[in-house]
Amino acid sequence: MDRTNQARRQFIRNMVVGALVAGVAPVEMLHGKTTDNPLPIKPKPLAAGQTVGLIAPSSNFLENESIAFAVDILRSFGFNVKKGEYIYERYGYLAGHDEQRAKDVNAMFADPDVDAIMCMRGGYGSPRILPYLDYDVIRENPKVITGFSDVTALLNAITAKTGLITFHGPVAGQNYSDYTLAQFKEVLFEGKQAMLAQPPPFEVVEGQAERDNRITVIKDGIAKGRLLGGNLSLMVKLVDTPYEPFYDNAILFLEDVAEAPYKMDGMFTHLKLSGRLNKLAGIAFGKCTRCKDDGNTLSLEQVLFDHLQPLGIPVLRGLMIGHIKENSTIPIGALAEINTSNPGIKLLEPAVE
């Protein structure tokens, strides 16, 4: 090994150690590897008048009128819309073949006239396109990219491979509630160090109490770290792949939909046995929508306590993240804090600049 390589490796080793001592890990680190830049890459904020690329990296809608609806949603923000070349493709449950969907992602990042990228919907299939993405082009052309559910794999892979902050939040093919819109604009338009995913206010009156958006403290405390996560099923799919994000000293946020407690148990077991859970600084669990089993079962609450309380790190359940009307926008790769005495995710830096 020549002296240049030795010096470079020593520099990287010192950077890693320094980051871990500080309790904040560079988002580009991946299984002991790192890029030369230890800081996240922040895209520019959204603004009316920009051109937004519309893509479908997972599934498509069954009817073209739903695509037209997604275009109208983007235009309601004052955006110009550029549709992906393959936005009308359908291949069973996929929005076209893998190479086509990946080509739309690559093309939107490469296009200098496109300011930001929004996914039309989730569904299934984003992990299939990860080997076809041009991560150098993505790194060199940082832009906002948003989505949730199956898009979790795409977002975390981009952050892991490039350092670009990506955004787990609403898709183009949906109406935005007042809550969802406010969080979306605070993070992406205004660049605020916002308090995210807190339950909306509930007016307590005689004979009524909050039922739907209750917070459970599984383990109390305060944690600081870079955010990673999204849909639990997709995070499990990324384990031990080249696209897995860096768990050390991170805050993992999670949600899921239509998964029975025993399946959630299995996914948490996999993360535990693979050593991922015991690397974390904290966990923010959102909603598991329609996650019930009518048979002989543990409750989801019991599953979460079984797996997460023994970790000894701060863990919350019930934040506004998931397949819900009031869905927060969470920047993957941004520095944040959770405090179980004030439930939510507090950004410690702007996610756009």
Give the tens place of pLDDT for each residue, 61-89: 999 999 999 999 999 999 999 999 999 99
How confident is the model over 266-313, as pLDDT tens digits? 999 999 999 999 999 999 999 999 998 777 789 999 999 999 999 999
Instruction: Kindly give the pairing relationship between strand 282-289 and strand 315-317.
Output: parallel
Record the pTM.
0.89
Average pLDDT over residues 151-165: 98
Instruction: Name the active-site residue from 259, 323, 328, 337.
Output: 323
- Sign of dihedral through CA atoms 321, 327, 331, 332? positive
Instruction: Kindly give the pairing relationship between strand 116-119 and strand 144-147.
Output: parallel
Whole-angstrom distance, CA of residue 184 vs CA of residue 180: 6
Look at 21 and 231; give whichever has higher pLDDT. Answer: 231
Note if 255 is an active site residue: yes
Note if 177 is an active site residue: no
Whole-angstrom distance, CA of residue 209 vs CA of residue 282: 28
Q: For the domain 51-188, what is the CATH superfamily, name and number?
A: Murein tetrapeptidase LD-carboxypeptidase, N-terminal domain (3.40.50.10740)
- Name the residue among 67, 6, 51, 29 with its Cα closest to residue 226: 29
Q: Which residues of 313-336 are buried (b: 16+ CB within 10 A; e: fewer)?
A: bbbbbbbbbbbbebbbbbbbbbbb
Domains 51-188 and 195-347 equal at CATH topology level: no
The residue assigned the tokens 């009817």 is: 63
The residue assigned the tokens 């993405």 is: 133
Q: With contact defined as beta carbons under 8 Å apart, do 328 and 347 qualify?
A: no
Give the CA angle between residues 217, 219, 222 to the nearest 5°.
95
How confident is the model over 286-297, as pLDDT tens digits? 999 999 877 778
What pLDDT does 22 receive? 41
Give residue 315's Cα distance to chain centre.
18
What pLDDT does 187 receive? 98
Whole-angstrom distance, CA of residue 302 vs CA of residue 162: 37
Tokens of 151: 């898009």
Looking at this protein, which amino acid is placed at residue 194? Answer: A
Helices (H), the chain: 3-22, 64-76, 98-110, 126-129, 135-140, 152-162, 178-188, 232-238, 261-273, 300-308
Distance separating the N- and C-terminal Cα atoms of the chain: 40
Instruction: Name the active-site residue from 186, 255, 259, 326.
Output: 255
What is the pLDDT of the chain when averaged over all its residues?
91
Instruction: Name the active-site residue from 58, 59, 126, 149.
Output: 149
What pLDDT does 242 receive? 97
* For residue 28, pLDDT beyond 80: no
What pLDDT does 314 receive? 98
Strand order in the sheet with 282-289: 195-196, 345-347, 335-339, 222-231, 251-257, 282-289, 315-317, 216-219
Residues 6 or more apart from 28 whose CB is under 8 A from it? 34, 35, 37, 38, 160, 162, 163, 246
Q: Residue 326, SS3?
A: coil
Whole-angstrom distance, CA of residue 183 vs CA of residue 319: 13
Average pLDDT over residues 97-116: 98
Whole-angstrom distance, CA of residue 268 vs CA of residue 276: 10
How confident is the model over 244-262, as pLDDT tens digits? 999 999 999 999 999 999 9
Q: How confident is the model at residue 38 (pLDDT cuts 50, 70, 90)?
A: low
- Domain edges within the chain: 51-188, 195-347
What pLDDT does 296 receive? 77
* For residue 15, pLDDT beyond 90: no
Whole-angstrom distance, CA of residue 57 vs CA of residue 138: 15
Instruction: Using a pLDDT cut of 70, give the percent of the chain over it.
Output: 89
The architecture (CATH level 2) of 195-347 comes to 3-Layer(bba) Sandwich (3.50)
What does the radius of gyration of the chain's CA atoms come to, in whole angstroms? 20
Tokens of 174: 């949906």
Task: Please give the C-alpha separations between residue 114 and each of 59, 82, 141, 159, in angstroms, as whole numbers.
Answer: 22, 8, 10, 19
Note if 337 is an active site residue: no
